Amino acid sequence: MEQMAVVTGGAQGIGRAVADKLTRNGVRVAVWDLDTDLAEKAATELGNGAFACHVDVSNWQSVEAAAERTISLGGPVSILVNSAGIAGSNAPLVDYPVDEFKAITEINLLGTFHVNRAIVPSMISAKYGRIVNIASVAGKEGNPNASAYSASKAGVIGLTKSLGKELAHMDIAVNCVTPAAARTRIFDQMKQEHIDYMLSKIPRGRFLELEEAASMIVWLCSPENSFTTGSVFDLSGGRATY
């Protein structure tokens, strides 16, 4: 039976790498992204019936509409990967713009809640599902001058643990990953000294490769991952060991 996946932020970065790998495994992908043109281009390149949905994950009505369209076009969603997110600017908390802190939280944390809230009911109906929420090592350790990003990603970890327990009596696995930085367009939002700081914290001495992240995430989305739920899988190159 063909599986249907939703990948938020699927037009670029980790989300796109996951969408590529899922497609190679025969999964049909709905690319949810704020950048409509890039999402359409990604869907065309993916093939296998992939299609794009313009979504603002911070807006519940937008997410709800995308979920309805996805299910009507592709059927029940059995795989969900939440990769949409922003880093925001770098500044000490005492100087952090109040509106920007709120916006980052609305996209990274509320956005993850909105998408899970919209998709989980169809998984419950099917009594099967695999969810991976993309958090960050910053959510474990906290990066200085990135309080909004760190706090929002810590929230994603807590949400994942809570939802995993709620659905543990069904064949629905809910896990998250905590990547170190990968060289994607999210770097464009960061100061060079912050990028250098992140690299200095990684014992491997390099940034995460997108394909490495996709390999772990896609396995977590597979039927093989039939036991672990509500858990956090590390992708930090040795930075975090818990």
Give the chain's domains with CATH numbers.
4-234 (3.40.50.720)
Mean pLDDT for 34-42 is 97
What end-to-end distance do the CA atoms of the chain give, in Å? 37
**pLDDT tens-digit map of 73-98:** 999 999 999 999 999 999 999 999 99
3-state secondary structure of 172: strand
Mean pLDDT for 170-184 is 92
Between 242 and 185, the higher pLDDT residue: 242
Q: Which residues contact 98 (CB under 8 A, 6 or more apart)?
A: none
Catalytic residue chosen out of the listed positions 96, 149, 197, 242 = 149
Dist CA 183 CA 193 (whole Å): 15
* pLDDT confidence band for 194 (50 / 70 / 90): confident
Strand boundaries in the chain, DSSP class E: 4-8, 28-33, 51-54, 79-82, 128-134, 171-179, 231-235
Residue 184 has pLDDT above 80, yes or no: no
> Residue 107's CB: how many other CB atoms inside 10 A?
22
Residue 190 has pLDDT above 80, yes or no: no
Mean pLDDT for 56-72 is 98
**pLDDT tens-digit map of 204-241:** 999 999 999 999 999 999 999 999 999 999 999 999 87
Upper half-sphere CA count for residue 27 (Cβ side, 13 Å): 27
Angle between helices 13-24 and 36-46 (to 10 degrees): 20
Predicted pLDDT at 18: 98
197 is catalytic: no
Q: What is the pTM of this model?
A: 0.94
* pLDDT confidence band for 1 (50 / 70 / 90): low
Predicted pLDDT at 117: 98
Predicted pLDDT at 229: 98
Q: Which of 95, 112, 124 is nearest to 161 (CA)?
A: 112
